[in-house]
Amino acid sequence: MKNFQLLLIALIFQFSLQAQIDGSDLWFSESSLNSQNYLLKPKSVVVSDAEGRITLASNELLHGLNRLFKTSIKTKHKVSKESVWLSLSVNSDIRELIDPKELDELGSDGFIIKYIDEKKSVLITGNTEIAVLYGVFHYLRSLQTIQVNKDDLNIIEIPKYKIRILNHWDNLDGSVERGYAGRSIWRWNELPEKISPRYHEYAKVNASIGINGTVLNNVNANPQILSTEYLQKVNAIAKVLRPYGIKVYLSVNFASPAVLGGLENASPKNEQVKEWWKEKVKEIYDLIPDFGGFLVKANSEGQPGPMDYGCTHADGANLLADALQPYGGIVMWRAFVYNPKGNDRARQAYEEFYPLDGQFRQNVMIQVKNGPVDFQPREPFSPLFGAMKTTQLMPELQITQEYLGFSDHLVYLGTLYQEFLQSDTYADGEGATVARVTEGSISNDHLSGIAGVANIGLDNNWCGHHFAQANWYVFGRLAWNPDLDVEMIADEWTRQTLTQDDKAVDAIVKVMMNSREATVNYMTPLGLHHLMGWDHHYGPEPWCEIEGARPDWLPTYYHKADSLGIGFNRSSSGSNAVEQYQAPLISMFDNVSTCPEKYLLWFHHVPWNYQMKSGLTLWNQLCLKYQQGVDEVRRSQEMWNTMEPFIDEKRFAEVEQKIAIQLKEAIWWKDACLLYFQTFSNQPFPKGVEKPIYKLDELKKQKFNLKHHN
Ligand code: BDP
């Protein structure tokens, strides 16, 4: 009987442990703790700070260490051997140990982690509480992901971008535009009275990867967000995020003075409008003294803007910038604009913004999507980067997988971000990568920032797909330092989130690293883009024609397949979008034989029988690319099937099911695109390409069911 009871207790314990692991802990998962690994096991945490300014950092450190080493160490105030010592740099002890010049260079967010031999302790220090907190998270991460040896512990970390910000496309009714992880985490109807525990968790996990700002609401902004009622709610969120160094920003609707304020118009020329913004901004700062500023989508996709009044983007941005300036607030003005009448959507942001270079106030940044069209699986970088020499540009990356299979497909975006950030713009000769021209090291502008459109929702695991968490993680790590190796980041994430088993980690990281290329291959290889259904952006609809829809929303506008070939001619004989790049990129992209094949059909309309570098014809190469995409997903499925011993039951099964969906849909993509393009190429599929399982007529009739994704 006793044995039976014990067995029952053990089973219940096991069950409750399993039940806990559902991905809700993100990269603080209980499943991947392995205290055997660590060479450095501190006996105490020492805090030299009588005023209690680094209490949050020391609590996080204690919590993290006790969790990792399964101990219950405590805080002391005097440095003793084998401790981790936290201190602000103003402390005179620190200034004796570390060169004050080095400390000055840390700025407000940088930190030092150093083994101090004479104290036999690890010191974590920085100029501010937040810097010490970042140092704590870095230290904990190192313990869990690399073999830390005290003797070579001498880390200096200074973030490259000053503003590292998430953009939530969350609506006030709780829905999330292009969100695939459930409803919005902001529960507006309960605020300001009720504070969801998720806000605290959100603050902590973001701080752990260095994020220091968040825009709470959708760029297609509801003017109500600026009402006094909503500002109280915003303030309640700001209070929770503040201790973790996260500032709150809002997307604003340019017509707010008219819609919310009842003015006749929202023109930048109208004195009453200027006054309205000043008053509104004052109201905000009276409530939230460290409010970050505004994000604006103007004169784009039906949103109001300064051009409605014969003014420019600069007039509009400066209107808001002037109101924010006295409080240190900033404007992030989006360059995502396009006009249905233009002949090439890829040219338009540049055409509207480049002539305005130099006209924006110092506290304005222009937020530019990574590619010239719209978050496609692959695009060349936007030519605005490197072109606007006296305006601070801020990259906008998409973390939510709007065009990459939503939260159903395993796609690690680290490789996409890296490809973009390391693209050479040649703005200042060779080596002027997007990262360098935006982080400010070339132009030395005082502002710099990078934004990621969040993939966060109320789902238990926050992101819909367990692996989508890695995209949030890698965005934060690259915002801190865009030169970090994304394979290392994938390794880090896997060890903290899924497993510590070396072989399993290697296998998982390999799949992650190949996953984006696989997706490009089964969706839009060789520079193809926007083949998705025009409204849902999910499955393949390269044939899509909708009466009354804007042509530049339809796939046929982008692929231009005909009996001669396929691709958008953006060369000098076509729309000449190539001219917006700097030399030598212009001629490299312009010439079909020097254009990198991954961008071939982005820049050229190429004959079906054109000979590719492999010696294959374009048609055969295209077919084999689609097949490679499918094969890679199959490989990832095989890999995952061997992971069962290393991953907890629930997450193993959930990822297994998602990969099964991904494989089915990779085949769907391949069949749909190849069968449709075959009606133009009139050629058979080459050897090595699997026989289609779908029929074109049936695919064309099938209406994609969006409900499946909510
Ligand atoms: C497109 C999205 C749309 C967004 C828009 C934007 O489809 O939902 O509102 O971008 O960035 O990718 O403003």
Say what percent of the chain tops pLDDT 90: 83
Q: What is the pLDDT of residue 42?
A: 86
For the cut 80, the answer to whether the pLDDT of residue 45 exceeds it is yes
d(CA 583, CA 556): 30
Structure tokens at 365: 């940044």
* Last residue within a domain, chosen from 132, 157, 182: 157
Structure tokens at 460: 């238990």
Q: Give the chain's radius of gyration (CA, Å).
A: 26
Q: Are residues 143 and 197 in the same domain?
A: no
Q: Catalogue the active-site residues.
A: 301, 374, 402
Residue 468 within any structural domain of the chain: yes
d(CA 441, CA 681): 48
Structure tokens at 510: 């390999």
Residue 428 within any structural domain of the chain: no
Q: Is the CB of 700 under 6 A from ligand 1?
A: no
Q: Which of 125-129, 237-241, 342-346, 692-696 is the least confident region?
A: 342-346
Which of 176, 177, 253, 366 for mutating ligand 1's site (highest number of atoms within 8 Å of CB)? Answer: 177
Q: Are residues 92 and 44 in the same domain?
A: yes
Q: Are residues 234 and 382 in the same domain?
A: yes
Which comes out higher in pLDDT, residue 149 or 611? 611
- On whether the CB atoms of residues 84 and 95 are closer than 8 A, the answer is no
Angle CA 580–582–588, to nearest 5: 95
Q: Is the CB of 219 under 6 A from ligand 1?
A: yes
Which of 222, 301, 534 for mutating ligand 1's site (highest number of atoms within 8 Å of CB)? Answer: 301
For the cut 80, the answer to whether the pLDDT of residue 710 exceeds it is no
Q: What is the pLDDT of residue 13?
A: 45
Residue 34 within any structural domain of the chain: yes
Residue 404: closest CA among 530, 489, 508: 530
Give residue 253's identity as a one-letter amino acid code: N
Q: CATH number, domain at 71? A: 3.30.379.10
**pLDDT tens digits, one per residue of 564-593:** 999 999 999 999 999 999 999 999 999 999
pLDDT-derived band at 1, boundaries 50, 70, 90? very low
Say what percent of the chain tops pLDDT 70: 94
Q: Is the dihedral of CA 91, 94, 100, 103 positive or negative?
A: negative
CA-nearest residue, atom 1 of ligand 1: 374
Q: What is the pLDDT of residue 709?
A: 45
Q: Are residues 131 and 171 in the same domain?
A: no
Query: For the chain, first and last CA: distance in Å?
Result: 48
Q: What is the pLDDT of residue 339?
A: 79
Residue 682 within any structural domain of the chain: yes
pLDDT-derived band at 80, boundaries 50, 70, 90? confident
Q: CATH number, domain at 654? A: 3.90.1330.10
Q: Are residues 58 and 171 in the same domain?
A: no
Residue 599 within any structural domain of the chain: no
Residue 513 within any structural domain of the chain: no
Q: Is the CB of 420 under 6 A from ligand 1?
A: no
**pLDDT tens digits, one per residue of 458-516:** 999 999 999 999 999 999 999 999 999 999 999 999 999 999 999 999 999 999 999 99
Parent domain of 325: 163-402+449-497
Q: Are residues 151 and 257 in the same domain?
A: no
Q: Which of 188-197, 332-341, 561-570 is the least confident region?
A: 332-341
Residue 506 within any structural domain of the chain: no
Q: What is the pLDDT of residue 71?
A: 87
Looking at the structure of the chain, the number of domains it has is 3
Q: Which run of H or of E encompasses 3? A: helix 2-20
Q: Which run of H or of E encompasses 228? A: helix 228-241
Q: What is the pLDDT of residue 180?
A: 97
Q: Are residues 109 and 223 in the same domain?
A: no
* Last residue within a domain, chosen from 157, 181, 207: 157
Strand partners, 157: 111
Q: Are residues 479 and 547 in the same domain?
A: no
Q: CATH number, domain at 229? A: 3.20.20.80
Q: Are residues 62 and 190 in the same domain?
A: no
* Last residue within a domain, chosen from 157, 188, 214: 157
| Average pLDDT score, the chain | 93
Q: Which residues contact 225 (CB under 8 A, 6 or more apart)?
A: 172, 216, 217, 234, 250, 251, 252, 253
Q: Are residues 642 and 529 in the same domain?
A: yes
Task: Using the atom order of ligand 1, give the atom closest to the CA of residue 453.
Answer: 11
Q: Is the CB of 396 under 6 A from ligand 1?
A: no
Query: Dmax of the chain from CA atoms?
Result: 86
Going from the Cα of 297 to the center of ligand 1, the distance in angstroms, rounded, reads 10
d(CA 651, CA 649): 6
- On whether the CB atoms of residues 364 and 392 are closer than 8 A, the answer is yes
Residue 541 within any structural domain of the chain: yes
Q: What is the pLDDT of residue 191?
A: 98
pLDDT-derived band at 2, boundaries 50, 70, 90? low
Q: What is the pLDDT of residue 20?
A: 66
pLDDT-derived band at 707, boundaries 50, 70, 90? very low
Q: What is the pLDDT of residue 145?
A: 85
Q: What is the pLDDT of residue 7?
A: 53
The whole model's pTM is what? 0.96
**pLDDT tens digits, one per residue of 209-227:** 999 999 999 999 999 999 9
Going from the Cα of 400 to the center of ligand 1, the distance in angstroms, rounded, reads 11
Q: What is the pLDDT of residue 10?
A: 47
Q: Are residues 167 and 151 in the same domain?
A: no
**pLDDT tens digits, one per residue of 414-468:** 999 999 999 999 998 999 999 999 997 655 557 999 999 999 999 999 999 999 9
Q: Give me the mean pLDDT over the 628-636 stretch.
A: 98
Strand partners, 156: 112
Q: Are residues 369 and 477 in the same domain?
A: yes
d(CA 628, CA 348): 34
